[in-house]
Amino acid sequence: MTLSTYTPGLYASFRHQTFSPRQLVPVPSKGLLRIERGAVRTVTWGDRGTAITLGYWGVGDAVGHSLSGVQPYQIECKTHVEMSYIPANLCDRSLDEIFAHVQQTQEFFCMLRTESLRDRLLQLLVLLGKKFGRQVAQGLLIDLRLTHQEISESLGITRITVTRLMCRLEEEGIIDRSRPQYIVLTSR
């Protein structure tokens, strides 16, 4: 859902809760959570206990076990987050958010099928830049604190490979990581 189609009045009566970075959000068994402010990532685990990132979500996005169906399902705050609960009987009012969730999930899945690991990483950074970036003098700043481990869990590759590929993208001048934990996709 784009911010231009967001109608705050529709959700004004829902109870809002706030969460801190790295805090886990209690997931309702029914209904949805709508992100009013901030960014989260949704996670599950493989049969060997390996974390698997399901997606990164921001303002206007709806998340919840009802949209995923995977078990276990966890919502982890990447920034300060404010969320509202949408009861199951009112989810029909959230079709725009549900369709946007499906579309982003499909885009994320297609990214994971990219054979070149360098290109897969670059596609993730571009996706995060479009969703969470802000324009700065050097390019597009992804203002999320992402560890190499989290990126590896998103891409299905090792943390060491992420570190190597990040160094390569920096050497190529595609990204700038001069500020700790921030990534800038440079405008060349």
Final residue before a domain boundary, out of 78, 94, 111: 111
Among 26-30, 34-38, 106-110, 152-156, whose mean pLDDT is lowest? Answer: 26-30
Answer yes or no: do 121 and 182 share one domain: yes
Residue 8: pLDDT band with limits 50, 70, 90:
very low
Report pLDDT for 7.
40
Answer yes or no: do 56 and 122 share one domain: no
Among 4-8, 58-62, 81-85, 148-152, whose mean pLDDT is lowest? Answer: 4-8
Answer yes or no: do 71 and 145 share one domain: no
Final residue before a domain boundary, out of 48, 79, 111: 111
Among 7-16, 24-33, 58-67, 93-102, whose mean pLDDT is lowest? Answer: 7-16
pLDDT higher than 60, residue 9: no
Name the percent of the chain lying above pLDDT 90. 66
**Domain around 180:** 115-186
pLDDT higher than 90, residue 62: yes
pTM, two decimals, is 0.85
pLDDT higher than 90, residue 124: yes
What DSSP character marks residue 27?
Answer: P
Answer yes or no: do 41 and 76 share one domain: yes
d(CA 122, CA 84): 32
Segment 85-96 mean pLDDT: 88
For 135, the 3-state DSSP assignment is strand
Q: Burial, 186: exposed, middle or buried (Cβ in 10 Å; 0-12, 13-18, 19+)?
A: middle
The domain total for the chain is 2
In a 13 Å sphere around the CA of 169, the CA atoms on its Cβ side amount to: 24
- Here the CATH number for the domain that contains residue 140 is 1.10.10.10
Final residue before a domain boundary, out of 96, 111, 126: 111
